[in-house]
Structure 1
Amino acid sequence: MASPRSRELGHRLLAVAALGVAGLLVPSAAAHGGSLGASARESVTVPTWLFLTTGGAIVGASFLLASFVTDRRLIDELHGWRATIPFHGRTAVGSIVRAGGVLGMIAIVVIGYVGPQSGLSNLAILLVWVGWWAGYTMSAYLLGETWSTVNPWRTITTWLPSLDRTLPAVGAWPAVVGLLTLIWIEVVSPLADDPTLLSTVVVGYSVVTLAGAVVFGSDQWFDRVDPISTVFTYYGHVAPIATVSTRVGEGTDQQRDSPDRLTVRPPGVGLTRTDLVTDSSDVAFVVALLWSTTYDGLVATPAWKALIAPLVEVGVPAHLLYPTALAAGFGLFLGAYRLAARAARSSSETYLAADRLARRFAPPLIAIAAGYHLAHYLGYFLSLAPVLATVLTSPLSPPAVVPVFSLPGWYGAIPVASVLAGHLLAIWIAHAAAFDLFPGRLQAIRSQYPFTLAMVAYTMTSLWIVTQPTIQPPFL
C-alpha cells in the first residue's frame, strides 16, 4: 500500500502533467508591442469566448489540483530548498555596476537633448524603453533584483548630505501615487518618441528624488516613497535568485547569504514572506502595480477607442479621460480585492481580520503582474533589441536603416503562456500562504475560494487584452 507521502507526490506529478497538457491546448496569440510600434498583436483564430473560458478554467483547475497538496511539511520542504552559487568579486562588480548606472543616466539625459530626435534613432529612447523598462525589468523577476545596486539616484545620494528627517506616517501611499502618475505620463505623453521630453522628465524625476533622499534619508525614501525602487523590490521576490534587496527582514535569504555567493530558491518563494506586505498602503501598491500593467495594455486596444470615442465627440477632453480611467480602474481593482478578502474571512470562518487576510494574500498578485509584464514586453524587447545594439555603436550618428527582428509565427503562444504562468504561480503561492496562516486544511482551502474567483476574472481580462490588435492610444 502506498504511503501518504507517495500518494502526495503522485498527486503533485499528476497536477503538473495536467497543467502541462492544458497549456498545450491554449490557442496562440501575439504579444503587445508597447511603445515605438515594435510589433502588433494578432487576433486569435478561435471564438473569443472559448479562448477566455479556457484560460479561466485552467486557473480554476490549478486551484483544485493545488488543493491536493495539503501536507504542510511537504510545502515547507519545497519552499525551503536552497542552493548557493559562487559569486567571487561581488563587491568589485557592485562598484562597477553602480558607476555604470550613474554614467548611463547621464548618457540618457545628454543624448536625449543632443542626439537624433527620431525615436528609433535616439539611444536615450531605446535605453529607457527597450533596454531598461522592457529587458532589465524582466531580469528582476526572471533572475534576481539588482536595482538597489544599479539605481543611479541611490548611488548619488551616498555622495550627498542627509537631513534624516522623519518621514510622515503615510505608509507607501506616496509610492502608489508616484507609480500611477508615472504610468499616466507614459501613456498620455510622447515619451517614447520625443527624446528631449524624455530627458526633461528624467531630470525632473532626478531633482525630486535626490531632494527627497537628502531630506528624509536614502533608506526611507527609496524603501517607502520611490515607486521605481518599490516595483523592482517586489519583482525581485518573484525571482529564483536572492540578491541585494532594500527591504529584507530578519532571517531572510539575503542575511544568510555570504558576500561571495548567491542563493538560489524556487521561483516565487520570496513572495511567501510574512513581512513583505505590512499595511494597507502596501496592499494598495501591489494592486496599483497589477492595475498599471493592465491599463497600459488596455488603452492600446480598439475596444478602448470605441469606448471613449462617443465621449470625445461630445467634447470631453481625451486628456481628462485617461487619468480618470486610470484612477477609476485602480479603485475598482482595489475594491474588488478588498471585497475578496472580506469574502475569504467568511468562507474560511475565521476570526482573523479582513485587513490581515488582504495583506497576507497580496504578494501572489505580484506574480500575476510579472507574468503580464512578460507577455506585454517580451516581444517588444526581442523586436527592438537589434535596433538598440546598432544605435549603441554610434549613438550620435546612427545608420539610416536599423534592423528590426520579426517575431516568428509560433511566438504568439508565448504571451498567453506568460499570463497563465503568472496566475498559476500566484495560485500556488496563495495556497502555501493559506496553509501557513490557518491551522485547518479545509479552512485553508476555503479561504482561497474568493481569491481564486478574482484571479480567474483577472486571467480572462488579461488574456483578452493580449489577444487584441495593437493601436496607439487614441485621441492624444
Structure 2
Amino acid sequence: MAGWLLAGTALAHAGSLGSAEPVSVPSWLFALTGGGVVVASFLFTSFVTDRELIRAIHDRGPTVPVGPFLAAGRRVLRLVGLVGLLAVVLVGLVGPSAAVANLAVLLVWVGWWAGYAMTVYLVGDTWPALNPWRTLSELLPSFDRPYPDRLGAWPSVAALLGLVWIEVVSPLADAPRLLVAVVLGYTVLTLAGAAAVGRETWFAAVDPIARVFRYYGALAPFQRRGGSVTLRVPGAALTAGETGVAVPTGPRSDARRPVRADGAGVGRDRRALVDGLDDVAFVVALVWVTTFDGLVSTPAWAAFGRPIVAAGVPPLAVYLGALAGGFALFLGAFRGASRLVRRSAGTYVTTREIERRFVLALLPIAAGYHLAHFSGYFLALSPTLAAVLTDPLAPPTALVVLALPNWFGGVQLAFVVLGHLVAVWVAHAIAFETFTGRLQPIRSQYPYVVLMVAYTMTSMWLLVQPYAAPPFL
C-alpha cells in the first residue's frame, strides 16, 4: 500500500522539474554556484580558438554501415509503436482505475515521456520509425492540400504550449480514462491533418511531438547519414544546424542548407534545423515549458497564484496567462540577447541569422532539464512499470517503487549544470562557424553567457524547491 501511495504522488505531477531531495544549504547558493560554473566554462572554452581543432572535434567519429538492418529495424519499431498505442487505449479504458496500477498511465509517462525521451538525446532519434501516428497515416489517403506558408511552424509552437497547459491543469497522470480521451483526440487530429496537407508537411511543421524529438535527436551522439551511423560529440550536429536524418521540411522544403564559414555545405541530404522565427520560437518554447512545469509545483507559485484566484480570476486563466507570458519573456530575452550579440561582435551578420544559428545552443539546456527530473522519476517507477507489464488487467497488489538515495538530488543538479556546459561549448563552436577572426567569436558570446547564467540559476533554484501542490486548482 505504501508503494501505491508513493507512486501515486510521483505520478500526480509527471512533468515537474522540481521536487529534488531537500538540500541542507540555501537554494540561492546552489543557484549562484551553477551560474558560476557556466561563467568558468565560458572562460575555459574561450582559450580554444583554433577553427580546425573545433571542426575536428565535431566532425570526426567512427562510422558503422547499418544499411542492411535499417528496413528490419524500422519494421520492428513500427510494430512496437502501434502495439504501444493500442495498449494505451485498451488498458486505459478497461484496466484498473488506479493510475499507478494502470499500464496506460505508466507507459505514457514512465516508459515513453521519461525513458524513451531520454534515449532520443542520449543515444539517437528513432521516433520517425517508432511514431505510431506516422505509421497509421501511411495507411490513409493524402489529399496534399496546400499548406499556408505564412503559418510555418507556428502551429507546433501553439500545440506544444497547449499540451503542457493541459498536462499541468488536468489530472492526466491520475485519470486513465481522461488520458485515453486526450490520446484519441490527438490521434484523430493528427491523422486528419496528415491526410489533409500531406504526411511529410504535417510531421515536419505542425506535429509538436515529432518536432520535439527531431530537435532532441540532433543533440544525440549517434547520427544517421544515409545507410550509416556516425558517433560524434554530443551536440556536434547543432553547430552546423543539421537534422539527425534527412527530413523534408514540408512548406519550406527549399529552405537553404546551412553553410559553414569556409563556404562548404553540410550535405545534399541535410536540411536546416532552424530557418525562421517560428523555429526559433519552438526551441525557446521547449526550454520554457520544462521550466514552467517545475515552476507550478513550487511554494512560490502557490503564493503567487492564490491572491489572483481569490480576486476572482479563474485558475485555468491564471495558468494560461503565466504560460503565455513566461514564453513571451523567454523569447524576448533570447531575441534581445541576439541583438546585443550583433553589437558586441561588431558584425554585419543580421540579427535574424544570429538567432537562427545560436538558438540551437539552447537545446542542451532543455535536455539537461528533462534529464534532471526524469532520470530519478524513471528509476523510481521502472519496477512498477515492469510489474504492471506482467499482467496489465490484473496487476500485482504489491507494487515496488524504488526509494532513491538522498545523494541522487546532487546528480539531478549535476545534470542541469552538464546541460548548460554543453550549451556553452555548442555556442562557442557556432560562434567560430559564424564569425571571423579570434576575438569576434568570443565577444559575440557575452550576451548569451549572461542569458545562460540566468537560465542556469533559475533551473537550479527550481530543482531544489520542495514540491507544493497549488491549492487553487
Normalised to the residue count of structure 1, the TM-score between the two structures is 0.88
Q: In 2 relative to 1, CA 56–377 (structure 1 residues): closer, same or farther, beyond 3 Å?
A: same
CA–CA distance in structure 2, aligned partners of residues 470 and 112 of structure 1: 27
Post-superposition CA distance 1:218-237 (Å, at most 9, x none): 10000000000000000001
Per the alignment, residue 290 of structure 1 pairs with: 287
Per the alignment, residue 428 of structure 1 pairs with: 425
Per the alignment, residue 303 of structure 1 pairs with: 300
CA–CA distance in structure 1, aligned partners of residues 344 and 47 of structure 2: 19
2:135 to 155, 159, 163: 155
2:379 to 374, 378, 382: 382
1:71 matches 2:50: yes
Matched position secondary structure for 2:47 = coil
1:405 matches 2:372: no
Matched position secondary structure for 1:237 = helix
1:360–1:433 CA contact under 8 A, matched in 2: yes
CA–CA distance in structure 2, aligned partners of residues 86 and 472 of structure 1: 50
Per the alignment, residue 178 of structure 1 pairs with: 159
Counterpart residue identity of residue 440, structure 2: Q
CA–CA distance in structure 2, aligned partners of residues 161 and 472 of structure 1: 46
Per the alignment, residue 265 of structure 1 pairs with: 232
Q: Which runs of 5+ in 2 are unaligned?
A: 1-8, 242-257, 259-271
2:35–2:453 CA contact under 8 A, matched in 1: yes
Cα shift at 1:319: 1.3
Per the alignment, residue 203 of structure 2 pairs with: 222
CA–CA distance in structure 2, aligned partners of residues 48 and 192 of structure 1: 29
CA–CA distance in structure 1, aligned partners of residues 81 and 235 of structure 2: 27
1:343 matches 2:319: no
Matched position secondary structure for 2:125 = coil
2:100 to 112, 116, 120: 120
1:356 matches 2:353: yes
1:204 matches 2:180: no
RMSD between aligned residues: 1.4
Counterpart residue identity of residue 176, structure 1: V
CA–CA distance in structure 2, aligned partners of residues 463 and 92 of structure 1: 43
1:327 matches 2:324: yes
Post-superposition CA distance 1:79-115 (Å, at most 9, x none): 1112123545331121011012112101101111111
Cα shift at 1:177: 0.3
Per the alignment, residue 275 of structure 2 pairs with: 278
Cα shift at 1:166: 1.8
1:43 matches 2:22: yes
1:112–1:195 CA contact under 8 A, matched in 2: yes
- Count of aligned pairs: 430
CA–CA distance in structure 2, aligned partners of residues 312 and 159 of structure 1: 47
1:241–1:264 CA contact under 8 A, matched in 2: yes
Cα shift at 1:37: 6.3
CA–CA distance in structure 1, aligned partners of residues 77 and 51 of structure 2: 41
CA–CA distance in structure 1, aligned partners of residues 19 and 421 of structure 2: 26
Post-superposition CA distance 1:16-37 (Å, at most 9, x none): xxxxxxxxxxxxxxxxx86346
Counterpart residue identity of residue 401, structure 2: V
CA–CA distance in structure 1, aligned partners of residues 159 and 309 of structure 2: 27
2:19–2:464 CA contact under 8 A, matched in 1: no
Post-superposition CA distance 1:395-454 (Å, at most 9, x none): 001112200001012211111111011100010011010011111211111110001100
2:21–2:406 CA contact under 8 A, matched in 1: no
1:41–1:468 CA contact under 8 A, matched in 2: yes
1:34–1:376 CA contact under 8 A, matched in 2: no
1:111 matches 2:91: yes
Q: Which runs of 5+ in 1 are unaligned?
A: 1-32, 244-253
1:80 matches 2:59: yes
Matched position secondary structure for 1:262 = strand
Counterpart residue identity of residue 379, structure 2: L
CA–CA distance in structure 1, aligned partners of residues 10 and 341 of structure 2: 36
2:290–2:370 CA contact under 8 A, matched in 1: yes
Cα shift at 1:264: 1.0
Name which of structure 1's ranges 190-199 and 99-108 shifts more when overlaid on structure 2.
99-108
Cα shift at 1:40: 4.3
1:419 to 416, 432, 444: 416
Q: In 2 relative to 1, CA 37–450 (structure 1 residues): closer, same or farther, beyond 3 Å?
A: closer
Cα shift at 1:262: 2.1
CA–CA distance in structure 2, aligned partners of residues 226 and 419 of structure 1: 27
1:54 to 33, 47, 62: 33
Matched position secondary structure for 1:85 = strand
Q: In 2 relative to 1, CA 361–188 (structure 1 residues): closer, same or farther, beyond 3 Å?
A: same
Counterpart residue identity of residue 178, structure 1: A
Matched position secondary structure for 2:407 = helix
Q: In 2 relative to 1, CA 93–454 (structure 1 residues): closer, same or farther, beyond 3 Å?
A: same
2:93–2:177 CA contact under 8 A, matched in 1: yes
Cα shift at 1:49: 2.6
Post-superposition CA distance 1:281-325 (Å, at most 9, x none): 000000000000100111011111011111122222211100110
1:394 matches 2:399: no
Post-superposition CA distance 1:302-353 (Å, at most 9, x none): 1110111111222222111001100000000000000000011111111111
CA–CA distance in structure 2, aligned partners of residues 105 and 172 of structure 1: 26
Counterpart residue identity of residue 235, structure 2: G
Counterpart residue identity of residue 411, structure 2: I
Per the alignment, residue 170 of structure 2 pairs with: 189
Matched position secondary structure for 2:320 = helix
Report the identity percentage: 55
